[in-house]
Amino acid sequence: MNKNIFNILAAAMFVLGLASCSSDEPSDVSIFPTDKQPTNEFDEWLLRNFTYPYNVQVTYRLNDIETDNNYTVVPADQVKAAKLAKLVKYMWFDAYDEVAGHEFLKTYAPRMIMMVGSGMYQSQGTVILGYATGSIKIALCNVNNLEDETFRDIETLNSWYLSTLHHEFQHILNQKVAYDRAFEAISQGDYVSGNWYQMRNEDSYDSDGNLVQGAYSLGFVRNYAMQEAAEDFAETMSDYIVYTDEKFEYIKKCAGGANSKGWLKIQEKIDFIRNYMQSAYNINIDELRTVVQRRAKEIDKLDLEHLD
């Protein structure tokens, strides 16, 4: 048995030796593509508006290395990606530039924004519309499900993307400058970890007629904030920026009114974040909110069909 193995190995080495001696010159044909992928008008626009001024790479072509291999995803449609990129520039980058100056996002923005065509669906039935990887990358998913009218629908844009951008960016800022852990004490005991998706925003009643408090009356801007303190911080900040006055009036009403425990907790969290952003980054979140709200009313005027 051992002799046969030795003979087989010797024969294999002999064949390899002949193959290696057959030519000292490399083949003219490579199995790996070496040509640089040609750029188009959209690529050039991304360079002018994101890469050169902010050192941020915006990608829409699917790159397996950059995606989460736990999910099956597809590339983003180029036309829809271009429209979304213009909205991201106007509603996020330009808004922060107006309030904090150009150098702020140039310094703190993630180095990559990746657009993915499909959503990332989880076993419990929820879908990931965006996520951040450290302070390096923010991914925006489900781009291919955007319809023409969706690009003018600020509520959907906020829900799918703009709130996600502010949320994930807040995580990045918190990683740069940690917030005081006293924030966690505001809703201590009310965080539900991975069971957040089972919670409702509004109060409800169970099958026995017992009142089940929702996220609002417990002091959260929505149920996802109930996962943990870090998510609560980021979600409260992002929703404060993008929610309208009418939306907050609705939350106040559902929480039980201006003097209810739930609403007072939400206000306490907003005050905490206001002080954090002012002291850590010299940003007035009320001014930022005013700018974002104004721009939200202007999206109908944006030319999303052409790249300037």
CA-closest candidate to residue 46, choices 82, 91, 74, 87? 82
User: C-alpha angle with apex 58: 41 to 300, nearest 5 degrees?
Assistant: 70
What pLDDT is recorded for position 160?
Answer: 84
* pLDDT over threshold 50, residue 161: yes
How far, in Å, are 14, 118, 167 from residue 129 at the CA level? 56, 9, 12
- Per-residue pLDDT at 146: 87
Report the alpha-carbon distance of residue 176 to residue 198 in Å, rounded: 32
pLDDT of residue 157 exceeding 80: yes
**According to the per-residue pLDDT averaged within each range, which of 15-24, 35-44, 66-75, 97-106 is highest?**
97-106
| Confidence at residue 221, expressed as pLDDT on a 0 to 100 scale | 98
Which 3-state string (H, E, C) describes 241-260?
HHCCHHHHHHHHHHHCCCCC
pLDDT score for 38: 66
Give 57's strand partners: 112
- Statement: residue 1 has pLDDT above 70: no
Residue pair 291/95 in contact (Cβ under 8 Å)? The answer is: yes
Q: For the residues 209-213, what does the mean pLDDT come to?
A: 91
Question: Token match 């996802």: residue?
Answer: 224
Looking at the predicted structure, is the pLDDT value of residue 166 above 80? yes
Give the pTM. Answer: 0.82
Contact between residue 138 and residue 170 where contact means Cβ atoms under 8 Å apart: no
Q: Are 201 and 222 in contact (CB under 8 A)?
A: yes
pLDDT class for 260, splitting at 50, 70, 90? very high
Query: 70 falls in which pLDDT band (50, 70, 90)?
Result: low
Among 145-154, 201-210, 245-254, the range of highest mean pLDDT = 245-254
| Percent of the chain at pLDDT exceeding 90 | 64
* pLDDT of 274 higher than 90: yes
304 backbone dihedrals φ, ψ, rounded to 5°: -95, 0
